């Protein structure tokens, strides 16, 4: 019988995904190392509601940002063009705003910024709005600003760290955000042969600051692909 491999997911996973791993003798422990909540502000709600009647080029890099704005607007605006990260965020944008509103997608924020800059337009962007969290990377807004695109940023959700001590050595640890990395390593250390699986390059860069362990980056920025990457690695 094959040896059982134990891994830790730093976010909660669907039962089906854990069952998929178990079929390969991989036992998954999952715990949410961060908590995300929408910003509750009358002023923010008023500002975003006012944007609904304007011509807006909106930028989303997280499902949480899409959900926070959707909760405020209730119904999709008629004159928004949207630039977003692909996969889960794109799916959330399509579900609320509609597929046709999506002008461009990319896997990472920096690539998305380059897309926004490089697209040929008949008319200049009237209002470029970035809906972000309180913890976010600088690549996208800085790159847009450096290329003379004025960005109005709204913080629509907050990420709160939830550190938890795990007194166990795992063969692999799955990380889906830089915030989860910070939360995990705030109270934990890992042995040298633990493999870290990262959802993207920014998350991998944060892991490198915390340990010298091997890092494997998934091909796509989804939880499913991170899990598939881990399963294929341990086969």
**pLDDT tens, 130-160?**
999 999 989 999 999 999 899 999 999 999 9
Q: Indicate whether this model's pTM tops 0.85.
A: yes
DSSP, res 166: -
pLDDT at 221: 87
Q: Is the pLDDT of residue 218 over 90?
A: yes
Q: What is the mean pLDDT of the chain?
A: 94
Please give the Cα distance from 222 to 66 (Å, whole number): 16
pLDDT attached to residue 119? 78
Whole-angstrom distance, CA of residue 152 vs CA of residue 141: 9
Instruction: Check residue 127 and give its pLDDT.
Output: 87
Distance between CA atoms of 120 and 87, rounded to whole angstroms? Answer: 24
80: CB partners within 8 A, 6+ apart? 55, 56, 57, 58, 97, 101
Q: 94: which 2 tokens?
A: 């399509």
In what side-by-side order are the strands of the sheet with 80-85? 34-38, 151-161, 128-133, 56-60, 80-85, 102-106
Q: For 143, how many CA atoms within 13 A lie in the half-sphere containing its CB?
A: 15
């Amino acid at each position: 019988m094959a040896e059982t491999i134990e891994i830790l997911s730093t976010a909660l996973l669907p039962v089906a995904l854990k069952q998929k791993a178990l079929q390969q003798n991989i036992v998954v422990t999952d715990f949410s190392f961060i908590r995300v909540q929408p910003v509750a502000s009358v002023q923010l709600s008023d500002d975003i509601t006012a944007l609904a009647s304007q011509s807006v080029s909106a930028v989303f890099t997280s499902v949480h940002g899409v959900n926070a704005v959707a909760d405020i607007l209730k119904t999709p605006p008629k004159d928004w063009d949207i630039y977003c990260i692909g996969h889960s965020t794109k799916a959330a944008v399509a579900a609320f705003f509609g597929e046709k509103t999506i002008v461009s997608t990319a896997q990472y924020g920096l690539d998305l910024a380059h897309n926004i800059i490089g697209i040929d337009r008949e008319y200049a962007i009237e209002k470029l709005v970035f809906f972000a969290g309180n913890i976010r990377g600088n690549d996208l807004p800085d790159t847009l600003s450096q290329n003379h695109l004025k960005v109005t940023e709204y913080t629509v959700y907050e990420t709160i760290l939830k550190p938890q001590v795990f007194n166990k050595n795992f063969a692999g640890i799955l990380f889906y955000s830089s915030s989860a990395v910070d939360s995990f390593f705030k109270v934990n250390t890992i042995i040298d042969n633990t493999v870290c699986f990262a959802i993207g390059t920014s998350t991998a860069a944060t892991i490198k600051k915390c340990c010298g362990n091997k890092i494997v980056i998934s091909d796509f920025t989804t939880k499913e692909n991170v899990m598939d990457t881990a399963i294929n690695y341990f086969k």
